[in-house]
Amino acid sequence: MPVIPIIICSDSQEEQRKIAQRVAIDFSVVIEVKFNQLAGILTQYPDTTIVTSWLQPCTELKEIIKLTSLNSTPLIVFIRKFNIKTFNVLPDPEGYLLLPSTVDCEFETWIGRAKQVRDNQIKLTQEIADLEQKIMDKKWIDKAKGLLQKHHGLNENQAHDALRKAAMDNGLPMVKIARNLISTLQKIEQ
C-alpha cells in the first residue's frame, strides 16, 4: 500500500515547522511546502491531505480552498486569529475543516475527519448532479409527451405509454427516445 503524504502549508515557517513536527508523530511522510508550490505538489500526490495554518483569512487561503475543492483534496485550515469574521471572509466550510489554531488534539483524528468531510462533500455534489440530470431528463420527456399530444391527439398517459413502449422496444432509456423524437420533429418543422 503506497504511503500517502500529509502536506503542510503555512504563511509562517515557524508555524509550519511546528505543525509538521506534530503531524510526523502519526504520519510517516510529511511534506512542507510554500504556497506557490502547492498546486505542483498536488499533481504529484493527488490522494494527499493538506493542513494549512494562516494568521487570518486572505486571498492565498481562499485559493488553497478553491484548489483543494477542485482536486477533491481533504483540507484542514487552522486560523491563528480566529474570530466571527473568519466565517464571513472564507468560503463556507463545505468540504474542509476550519479550526482555530488553539485546538489541541491528535492530528490523526482531524486528518481522518477532513477525509470524511471531503468524501461527504463529493457524495453530495454527485447527488446534486444526479438530481439535476433527472430534472433535465423529465423536461425532455415532458416536452416529447407534449409534442405527441399535439401532433397525434394523445392524452398525457397515452403519450407517456408510447414513449415508454418505444424505449422498451429499442432498449434505450426513455429520455433518449424523447430527445430523438424532439430532434426529428424539429427537423420536420424546419
Q: What is the pTM of this model?
A: 0.69
Considering the domain architecture, whether residues 89 and 51 belong to the same structural domain is answered as yes
Question: Any bridge partners for residue 52, and if so which?
Answer: 9, 77
Q: Read off the CATH number of the domain in which 176 is found.
A: 1.10.10.10
Residue at which a domain ends, from 39, 69, 104: 104
Task: Say if residue 80 is in the same domain as residue 27.
Answer: yes
Average predicted confidence (pLDDT) for the chain:
89
* 179 — pLDDT class (breaks 50, 70, 90): very high
Asked if residue 157 and residue 90 are part of one domain, the reply reads no
Same domain, 85 and 134: no
Whether residue 100 lies inside any domain: the answer is yes
Residues 95 and 158 in one domain: no
| Domain-located, residue 115 | no
In CATH, what number is assigned to the domain containing residue 51? 3.40.50.280
Q: Are residues 143 and 178 in the same domain?
A: yes
Q: What is the mean pLDDT of residues 144-151?
A: 91
Residues 28 and 91 in one domain: yes
Query: CA of 58: how far to CAs of 17, 45, 61, 62, 116, in Å?
Result: 21, 25, 5, 6, 25
Instruction: Provide the angle, in degrees to the nearest 10, between the axes of the packed helices 107-152 and 156-170.
Output: 110
Q: Give the tens place of pLDDT for each residue, 70-129.
A: 888 999 999 888 777 777 777 776 788 888 887 676 777 788 888 888 888 889 989 999
- DSSP line for 125-190: HHHHHHHHHHHHHHHHHHHHHHHHHHHH---HHHHHHHHHHHHHHHT--HHHHHHHHHHHHHHHH-
Residue 116 is predicted with a pLDDT of 87
pLDDT at 18: 92
Q: What is the pLDDT of residues 3-61, one digit of tens each?
A: 789 999 999 999 999 999 989 988 889 999 999 999 999 999 988 999 999 999 889 99
Question: How far from chain centre, in Å, is Cα 70?
Answer: 7
Spatial CB neighbours of 124, under 8 Å, sequence gap ≥ 6: none
The reported pLDDT for the residue numbered 3 is 75
Does 180 share its domain with 142? Answer: yes
Q: What is the domain range of residue 148?
A: 130-189
Based on the fold, state whether residues 37 and 89 are members of the same structural domain.
yes
Number of domains in the chain: 2
Q: How far is Cα 1 from Cα 11, in angstroms, rounded to an integer? A: 32
| Pair (72, 14) in one structural domain | yes
